[in-house]
């Protein structure tokens, strides 16, 4: 069961630069208590530490109780929260705890320059996952009218669901979708597994990530290329056939496919987040990406949790890349 209720999202997720990108879709003033989680400008590091990372993950012994009595589980490590005692995970003793404050704030500060500030930060899955997004202060608008924010996403976990990652991504402001820095590639990233004596090699990380400011040039070039790619109505239908084929046999799968195609076409033709780029490759990417983020059926988790987890695991980068690959095949055939 997901813990990401509206109250959780409005108290354990911090959103910055709302003067530039507006409120997050999950904004509910009544669920925020005495302190808003939205900031008109950058989020102060002190607030991230105070509101999200004011606790540590502590190692704990693991005991097993059965018909032979209570025994120590050798070669196993428990992870508990210092403030509540909540059990976050159980691992082998090779597991290395990466404290959020150190790995997502201190290490990021060492990687980046003074012109970058925190744009969002949050806790998911009962504090078992966390992220910090470091961004440039101003939105970038391409000549094609696409507004985006380059950022470096740092994320980690205490339950081994995520490696500690530092990844270049962008946020598409008009629809609050997160995409890879280059749609044809999985954006540059540096990952460290939770293993004993694991460390962040700063020089290697800098080389792997390059300079975060270069995201704007990479992404703008990709946007321009896609906006210059013509997708006729016939090609759009062919793309739907390739991306979301309708099964021949009646049933739930056929109904779901038909509903998805209808939703995608509505976004393509009349939704302000997509329709300005109708009949272009960028419009195709926007339609599919916006549907996934905001309209696709989500089971077993809140939408915000699922979207952010996909970003942190790199699943959205692969998804975006598959869209452009399918589109290229369709355009070559029609």
Tens of pLDDT, residue by residue, the chain (334 residues): 345 687 888 889 999 988 887 777 667 788 888 899 999 999 999 999 999 999 999 999 999 999 999 999 999 999 999 999 999 999 999 999 999 999 999 888 877 766 678 989 999 889 999 999 888 778 889 999 988 888 888 899 999 998 998 888 887 766 666 766 555 555 567 888 898 878 777 767 766 666 566 778 888 888 999 999 999 999 999 999 999 999 988 899 999 999 999 999 999 999 999 999 999 999 999 999 889 888 877 666 666 677 777 777 777 777 888 899 999 999 999 8
User: Closest Cα to residue 218, out of 175, 173, 177, 186?
Assistant: 186
The helix (run of H) or strand (run of E) holding residue 286 is helix 281-294
Q: What is the pLDDT of residue 181?
A: 55
Tokens found for residue 25: 């879709």
- DSSP for 132-194 reads EEEE-SS-EE-TTS-EEEEEEEEEEESSSSS-EEEEEEEEETTTTEEEESSTTS---EEEE--
| Three-state SS at 59 | strand
Under 8 Å between Cβ of 48 and 132: yes
The two most distant CA atoms of the chain are separated, in Å, by 71
Using an 8 Å Cβ cutoff, are 199 and 242 in contact? no
Partners of 123 in beta bridges: 130
C-alpha to C-alpha distance for 202 and 14, rounded to whole angstroms: 27
List CB contacts of 328: < 8 A, sequence separation 6 or more.
Answer: none
Strand residue runs (E) in the chain: 13-15, 57-60, 63-66, 69-72, 76-81, 87-92, 117-124, 129-135, 140-141, 147-157, 164-172, 177-180, 189-192
pTM score, whole prediction: 0.79
Rounded to whole angstroms, how far apart are CA atoms 316 and 291? 13
Query: What local confidence, expressed as pLDDT, does residue 2 receive?
Result: 46
């Amino acid at each position: 069961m997901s813990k990401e209720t509206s109250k959780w999202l409005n108290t354990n997720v911090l959103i910055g630069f709302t003067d530039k990108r507006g409120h997050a879709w999950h904004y509910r003033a009544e669920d925020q208590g005495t302190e808003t989680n939205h900031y008109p400008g950058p989020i102060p590091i002190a607030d991230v530490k105070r509101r999200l990372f004011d606790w540590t993950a502590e190692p704990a012994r693991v005991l097993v109780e059965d018909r032979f009595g209570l025994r120590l589980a050798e070669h196993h490590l428990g992870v508990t929260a210092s403030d509540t005692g909540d059990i976050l995970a159980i691992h082998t003793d090779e597991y290395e705890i990466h404290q959020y404050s150190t790995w997502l704030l201190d290490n990021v500060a060492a990687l980046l320059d003074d012109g970058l500030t925190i744009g969002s930060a949050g806790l998911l899955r009962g504090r078992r996952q966390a992220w910090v997004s470091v961004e440039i202060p101003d939105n970038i608008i391409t000549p094609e009218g696409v507004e985006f924010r380059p950022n470096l996403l740092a994320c980690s976990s205490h339950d081994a669901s995520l490696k500690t990652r530092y990844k270049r991504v962008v946020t598409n402001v008009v629809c609050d979708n997160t995409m890879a820095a280059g749609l044809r590639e999985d954006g540059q990233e540096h990952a460290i597994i939770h293993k004993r004596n694991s460390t962040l090699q700063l020089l290697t990380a800098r080389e792997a990530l390059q300079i975060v400011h270069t995201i704007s040039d990479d992404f703008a070039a990709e946007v321009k290329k896609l906006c210059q790619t013509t997708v006729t109505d016939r090609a759009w239908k062919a793309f739907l056939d390739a991306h979301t084929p309708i099964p021949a046999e009646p049933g739930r799968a056929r109904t779901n496919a038909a509903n998805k195609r209808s939703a995608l076409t509505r976004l393509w033709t009349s939704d302000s987040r997509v329709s300005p780029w109708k009949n272009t490759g960028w419009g195709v990417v926007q339609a599919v990406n916006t549907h996934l983020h905001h309209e696709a059926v989500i089971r077993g988790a809140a939408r915000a949790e699922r979207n952010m987890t996909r970003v942190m695991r790199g699943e959205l980068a692969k998804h975006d890349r598959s869209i452009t690959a399918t589109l290229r095949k369709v355009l070559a055939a029609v």
